[in-house]
Chains A and B, each alone.
Chain A
Amino acid sequence: MLDEATILERLSRAVMDGDEDAATQAANDAVGAGMDPQRAIMEGLAAGMAEMGRLYEEGECYVPELMVSSEALYAGLAILRPLVVQSASGAIDRGVAVIGAVQGDIHDIGKNLVKMMLEVSGLAVHDLGRDVEMDAFIDECMKVKADLLCLSALMTTTIIAIKDYLPVFKAKLPGTKIMIGGAPLNQRLADEWGADGYGENAMEAARVAIRLLEG
């Protein structure tokens, strides 16, 4: 039988290589070895994705590489996540997030990467997709009792939707932290408009999200 360290290394490597088959095999091996599935996710799959994120931030890999890594990650998660029992084994439950690309915006590559990084960081993420009516964010946050709302916009016209609606979100969702991101946005605008957080890229967004929820 394979030892746990080897399985974790194979899970991590499969994600970094973007190898779905290897991720599936390693995840099955983790199950067969009786590993704690949450540990296999966090120390195997998520560790590999975190390393890819680090390489992206250093300009050593690019979005297509992240895309294939995320496919491998989700292949492994499909096997391991159903086995995680939230109340046992110390599963990480960092909160509930709602995410979407705002009304008028169909650019969702960045949003999807943020979603993935939040998931591997231990959040339950409700993805509303793209071109999401602004009121739908409120409805969903109330429905799932969201701790975090993540708004993505990639156009100068759609960042106006965020600016217009941030006061509404703050008033109607007092218990929900609000993060914004997308190419035209920056920390200065996030501060001016009253957002709780801003992430320049998916990796930073996940770090900021954890800080907001643990702060």
Chain B
Amino acid sequence: MLCDQLSSRERWDALIRGDSLDRVPCLQFMLGHTAVVNGKPIAKAYDDAATSLSCQRNAMELYGHDGLVMHGWANSGGAEFGGEIEFPYRKYTGAPMMKRNPVQSEADAWALKVPEDFLSVGTIPVALEFSRLQNELGMPVTIQVGSPLTWAGSVCGEERLMLWIMKKPELVHHVLGIITDFILKKAEYWVKTFGAERLMAFDLCIETNKLYSPKQFETFAFPYLREIHDQLTAAGVAIFLTHICGEQNKNLPFWSQLSYGKRGMISVGKEVALSAASAAFPDCVIMGNVDPVIVQEGSPEDVLALCKASIEEGKVHPGGYALMTGCEVPPQAPPVNVGQMVPACREFGRY
């Protein structure tokens, strides 16, 4: 067994500063899985800030990951605008899901407003408590800031949103504008409360080219993402972590135009080659792209082989590279499979 020369904290700090590293870091976005390995219901990773943070820190230590600890999920937004959400307590559920979208009609959409008491709506209280705990522990304080189009699916329902994109584009722009205002209002509070220099803003974005055309991405996703990234960068937020979920190769030219503060961290799925991500984001850390389905359904040997391939492709990236799954670690992934990732970094990721 090869020994590490840096602690996880030192490796994270070096990655963020762009300093040299002893080996490829291993970062993971995992919430539900951390609850499972702590013997808690998956829902606790989402609806209970203290338990979520504790589970994530325990799992990080168990596996030897160098990060990430954060609270959020892709299908956010609906609950904050008055929708009904179900947390994953039932069998086979793995993440919060919308039971009723707040927007059911065009009239609902036109009437959509940023909630006055925005700190008390939906899951904002849990997110805020999570950030307070991160701050007390001296950790990076995370805040989910996107993407507005992904959130619009949660607010309106995906099918309704898609039909409106074709038939009522002005209505979709109205909804996206309100969601963007909400995200910026929330971010402004986070900046004021914790300080911009302490924040790591993150996007979870599912606008894949299996769903949307690059033109639709350019029209309905990109302008709002740019507004958020520009405003937060101007406010002094230094770190952005953006998960570009799924098949988004045709969207990369737009993603690469966004501002990512002093340190952008780009996570890609198995559908986007790390070499393509490297070319699109030469100055950002890139992360990925081990197939999470293999991490759940494959053997430890399968996982190790995928990690090796990712590390060999990613470690030459000049902006820095971290091994990660191509999406959230599946909640029910066998721990022995998840446990292959740090040893892979030690064996194949030496600098």
Q: A residues within 8 Å of B by Cβ?
A: 18, 59, 61-65, 67-68, 71, 102-109, 112, 155-161, 183-184, 186, 189
Contacts and interface: CB of A to CB of B under 8 A. Distances in A.
- Tier of interface size on chain B: 20 to 34
A64 B165 contact: yes
Interface of B: 32, 42, 88, 90-95, 97-99, 158-159, 162-163, 165-167, 209-213, 216, 246, 292-293, 296-297, 330-333
Contacts of A112: 159
Contact of B162 (A59, A63, A156): A63
Given A62-B213, A63-B210, A64-B212, A156 B293 contact: yes
A18 B95 CA distance: 34
B159 A62 contact: no
Nearest to A66: B162
Contacts of B296: 156
Given A68-B166, A109-B159, 6 more contacts: A67-B163, A104-B93, A108-B159, A109-B162, A157-B332, A161-B92
Nearest to B95: A155
Given A104-B94, A157-B32, A157-B93, A62 B212 contact: yes
Q: Which of B32, B90, B159, B209 has the most CB of A within 10 A?
A: B159
Contacts of B93: 104, 157-158
Contact of A64 (B166, B209, B330): B166
B256 to A, nearest CB: 20
A68 B159 contact: no
B331 A106 contact: no
Given A71-B163, A157-B32, A189-B297, A103 B216 contact: no
Contacts of B42: 157
A18 B166 contact: yes
A177 to B, nearest CB: 23
B98 A106 contact: yes
Contact of A67 (B98, B159, B333): B159
Contacts of A160: 92, 332
Q: Which of B88, B159, B209, B297 has the most CB of A within 10 A?
A: B297
Contacts of A64: 162-163, 165-166, 211-212, 216
Given A68-B166, A109-B158, A157 B211 contact: no
A62 B211 contact: yes
Given A64-B162, A68-B166, A104-B90, A156 B212 contact: no
Contacts of A183: 210, 246
Nearest to B161: A64
B231 to A, nearest CB: 28
Nearest to B292: A156
Which 10 residue pairs of A and B lie closest in terms of their CB atoms, listed nearest first?
Answer: A157-B94, A104-B92, A156-B330, A64-B162, A104-B93, A62-B213, A161-B92, A68-B166, A63-B211, A184-B293
A157 B162 contact: no
A78 B177 CA distance: 37
A61 to B, nearest CB: 8
B332 A156 contact: yes
Contact of A157 (B98, B165, B167, B330): B330
A99 to B, nearest CB: 16
Contacts of A102: 92
B92 A103 contact: yes
A65 B167 CA distance: 10
